Amino acid sequence: MRKRNKVVVVSQHYPPDHSTTAAIMAAIAERIAQDAEVVVISGMPGSAKDPEPGRPTVVEIRNWLPDKAALIKRALAETLFTCRIFFALWTRLRRGDVALTVTAPFVLPYAVAVAARLTGAKSALILHDLFPDVLVMAGLLKPASLVARAMREINALMFRALNAVIVIGRDSEKLLLRYSGMTPDKIWFIPNWATLVPGIRTVDPDNPFRKAIGARFVVGLSGNLGFTHDPDIVFEAARLLRDEGDIHFLLSGWGIGFDRLKEMQSADQLANVTLVDRVADGDLDALLSSADVWLIPYRKNVAGVSVPSRFYNLLAAGRPVVLISEPEAEAAFTVKENALGWVVSPGRSDQLADAIRLASRSQDAAMAERAVATARTFGPERALGSYAALVGALLCNRDVERKA
């Protein structure tokens, strides 16, 4: 009797890793496992799990995880990991199987697409970041450089080989369709979701992250600040507002951008800035409840390139946002469509300071209710159901109407 086809989920990040990518990939794998056999190939130490009925089998691939700021070591580690993934897929994939992966590390999708094509399997990519555009946005590559052009040529081959590309922002489709290997029927819009339960959190003066701050209005920043984020605009806005004693900046996170914030604060010692290192998962709800408004600071050219996953949790906490990005970016669409806050042009610290002043004087109490209502529309049930439908269609070798 012929064995049923299986789904192989490939992700460098998987629980016990606490990253957003790990949580998303685990949720997707668990949902698909309700309908099909799922094998997860993970690069996270401690992730391996023996088979259980109705649950994914997790296979751990040896992986080296250097600090994100160590670019050369990181590139070497990601290359080695991708090679190991290719050989793991070569031995596990069979004709008719489905391989599902994500753009972390950015070379991983190439290996998955090639392995799937060589073994007769189907392949699907969850596009969290579009390369080389994200590297250009971060200032690490020139748009017309040899490396950028070579990556775009390889992308064209990859997109032609892939059976489906899942985008988490509506702004990505336009950029994808520039590639000759892409067609609209391959693109599925499935946004990410809030990991917190949506509900209005009151501003509590006894909140552990707020009670030491005497200001009436707290501006928050939380999460990984990577190459695509701009910490300088946040600090410069704080400098512009340093004489307005009722406004205070509570900045928490990790990554090279947060290290930059630490350096600037160490040099300037602004009295209206408080820095908090990355908080434990159990304290995230309290942290997101501590501020009156939250910042998401992107560099230029974010549209179609990256979508902030933290955005949905900020809405779930019932907080407005000040988003630094182009107005045609996915998060900006959502903010404007639902009146959830303010959108500021990248690089304009004066505009950011003005938006924070407006937020501190806002009388729109219904903004919190709109934020929570919007977060509920980005629930996991809807997104995971779309993933299950897509994978089911690929397993059955049939076309399905795209869902959003």
* Residue 111 tokens, joined: 């290996």
The stretch 48-58 carries a mean pLDDT of: 87
As a whole number of angstroms, the distance between CA 266 and CA 261 comes to 8
Question: What pLDDT band is residue 304 in, cutting at 50, 70 and 90?
Answer: confident
**Token couple for 323:** 């988003």
CA pair distance 36, 56, nearest whole angstrom: 9
DSSP 198: P
Closest to 304 (Cα-Cα) out of 160, 102, 133: 133
Residues with Cβ within 8 Å of residue 287, at least 6 apart in sequence? 209, 220, 222, 252, 276, 279
Which residues, at least 6 apart from 365, have a Cβ–Cβ distance to it below 8 Å?
none
Let me know: does 303 contact 171? Beta carbons within 8 Å. Answer: yes
Tell whether the model's pLDDT for residue 68 goes beyond 70. Answer: no
For domain 6-193+379-395, give the fold.
Rossmann fold (3.40.50)
CA 14/CA 8 separation, integer angstroms: 14
Could you tell me if 347 and 234 are in contact, meaning their C-beta atoms sit under 8 angstroms apart? no
232 in Cβ contact with 262 (< 8 Å): no
Edge to edge, the sheet with strand 247-253 lists 273-277, 247-253, 217-221, 293-297, 321-324, 341-344
Looking at residue 134, what is its pLDDT? 84
User: What would the pLDDT profile of 273-296 be if each residue is shown by its tens digit?
Assistant: 999 998 888 898 999 999 999 999
**How many residues does this entry show for the chain?**
404
Distance of alpha carbon 202 from alpha carbon 185, whole angstroms: 44
Average pLDDT across the chain, whole number: 90
Q: Give 120-132 pLDDT, tens digit per residue.
A: 999 999 998 888 8
> Given pLDDT bands bounded at 50, 70 and 90, which one contains residue 86?
very high
Q: Are the C-beta atoms of residues 81 and 61 closer than 8 Å to each other? A: yes
Looking at residue 31, its amino acid is: R
11-47 tens-digit pLDDT: 999 999 888 889 899 999 999 999 999 999 999 989 9
Residues 248-279 pLDDT 10s: 999 999 989 999 999 999 999 999 999 999 88
Enumerate the domain spans of the chain: 6-193+379-395, 217-377
**334-367 burial by CB neighbour count: b if 16+ within 10 A, else e?**
bbeeeebbbbbebeebebbbbbbbebbeeeeeeb
Question: Please, what's the b/e burial string for 63-74 (b: 16 or more CB within 10 A of its CB; e: otherwise)?
Answer: bebeeeeeeeeb
CATH class of 217-377: alpha beta
Backbone angles phi, psi at 47, to 5 degrees: -90, -20
**Residue found by looking up tokens 């399905």 in the block:** 400
